[in-house]
Amino acid sequence: MPSLSPLHAVFFSVIVWHTGMNSVHVSAGTALTVQNVRLVEDVRFTDVLPSNENYYIKSLENVSITMCALQCVTHLPHCAAILYNGGEGTCRPLKTHLNENLVDNKSVKKGWKLFINDKACDDQWIPFNGHCYLFHETKAKMEDAETQCAQQNAYVVEIETSEENTWILENFVQLYYNSDQCYLECWSWIGLSDRQKEGVFTWIHQNSNVTWNNWYPGEPNNAHSIQDCAIMMPPFGDWYDHECLDCLVYTCEKSM
Ligand SMILES: [Ca+2]
Ligand SMILES: [Ca+2]
């Protein structure tokens, strides 16, 4: 068990919250610092829980807030935030920050506070399960999307699990689809292609085989013999192969 550094409670005037679509200024909140990790209260998410329990790393009972913060530190880089209920002493380290799309607005659960690890990712990038993600609304050909991500030391998103697929869908693809920015083709590149060998789709950056997939039934079908790059389609997040030269939005991903 690592030793605890002193727990500090300080106040901030303002922190900036980025959703990838826009940024919102958040007013004052408390911060905890444990072993150089600063967890800042996000006062917009009080008394709420996420809509998807897959975003919990674990759940603990009867712990202090210091112990809860330490749980987050011991689960780095996967811990992006903690939910703590002071009344019950319940602690839930989270794989991601919360935002309007990830909370269950129907149920108000008294006593919960959200503290985010505000250094988990660079400014504007959003953490999930040890990786950082940035959505690009400027449409690009797949090759140009790859170049743009590479310039940010990242790659076009590569999806290994249904949780990651759902998180990408809820945070970026579906949001964009519902937004005023959406015009005509509003689906999104994922970093999957069979350019090297027709019919064999591999993750471009990791040069790895597909382990989990979400192909729509009948896809990939290489329609008109010109579809070598994969897209995610709202509202269900299923995958299709598509023409690489088309211009679409995309998400970049990198390790923390
Ligand atoms: Ca990934
Ligand atoms: Ca297709």
What phi, psi does 227 have (nearest 5°)? -110, 100
In angstroms, the CA 21 to CA 197 distance is: 35
Tell me the pLDDT tens digit for each residue of 177-223. 999 999 889 999 999 999 999 999 999 999 999 999 999 999 999 99
pLDDT at 15: 40
pLDDT at 29: 66
Asked whether residue 135 falls in the same domain as residue 247, the answer is: yes
4 domain-assigned: no
Last residue of a domain, one of 94, 117, 140: 117
Residue 176: how many CB atoms within 10 A of its CB? 21
Confidence of residue 163 (pLDDT cuts 50, 70, 90): very high
- Surrounding ion ligand 2 within 5 Å at CB are 221, 223, 227, 240-241
pLDDT at 124: 93
> Is the pLDDT confidence value at 24 over 80?
no
pLDDT at 106: 78
Measured from the alpha carbon of residue 201, the closest ligand is 2
Task: Write down the mean pLDDT value for the chain.
Answer: 89
Q: Indicate which CATH number applies to the domain containing 189.
A: 3.10.100.10
Confidence of residue 107 (pLDDT cuts 50, 70, 90): confident
Q: How far is the CA of 156 from the centre of ligand 1 (A)?
A: 9
Confidence of residue 35 (pLDDT cuts 50, 70, 90): confident
In angstroms, the CA 19 to CA 104 distance is: 17
Q: How far is the CA of 96 from the centre of ligand 1 (A)?
A: 14
Q: Count the residues in the chain.
A: 256
Measured from the alpha carbon of residue 253, the closest ligand is 1
Measured from the alpha carbon of residue 238, the closest ligand is 2
Q: How far is the CA of 160 from the centre of ligand 1 (A)?
A: 6
Measured from the alpha carbon of residue 217, the closest ligand is 2
- What is the CA 140 to chain-centroid distance, rounded? 21
pLDDT at 62: 97
> Is the pLDDT confidence value at 19 over 50?
no
Q: How far is the CA of 234 from the centre of ligand 2 (A)?
A: 15
123 domain-assigned: no
Give the mean pLDDT of 19-24. 39
Q: What is the pTM of this model?
A: 0.85
Q: How far is the CA of 191 from the centre of ligand 2 (A)?
A: 15
16 domain-assigned: yes
Measured from the alpha carbon of residue 133, the closest ligand is 1
Q: Indicate which CATH number applies to the domain containing 113.
A: 3.50.4.10
108 domain-assigned: yes
Q: Which domain holds residue 216?
A: 130-255
Asked whether residue 174 falls in the same domain as residue 230, the answer is: yes
pLDDT at 11: 39
Asked whether residue 235 falls in the same domain as residue 208, the answer is: yes
Asked whether residue 168 falls in the same domain as residue 107, the answer is: no
Q: How far is the CA of 206 from the centre of ligand 1 (A)?
A: 10
Last residue of a domain, one of 61, 86, 117: 117
3-state SS of the chain is CCCCCCCCCEECCEEEEECCCCEEEEECCEEEEECCEEEEECCCCCCCCECCHHHECCCECCCCHHHHHHHHHHCCCCCCEEEEECCCCEEEEECECCCCCCECCCCCCCCEEEEEECCCCCCCCEEECCEEEEEEEEEECHHHHHHHHHHCCCEECCCCCHHHHHHHHHHHHHHHHHCCCCCCCCCEEEEEECCCCCCCCEECCCCEECCCCCECCCCCCCHHHCCCEEEEECCCCEEEEECCCCCEEEEEEEEC
> Is the pLDDT confidence value at 76 over 70?
yes
Give the chain's domain count: 2
Measured from the alpha carbon of residue 226, the closest ligand is 2
pLDDT at 231: 98
Percent of the chain surpassing pLDDT 70 = 89
Tell me the pLDDT tens digit for each residue of 114-138. 999 988 999 999 999 999 999 999 9
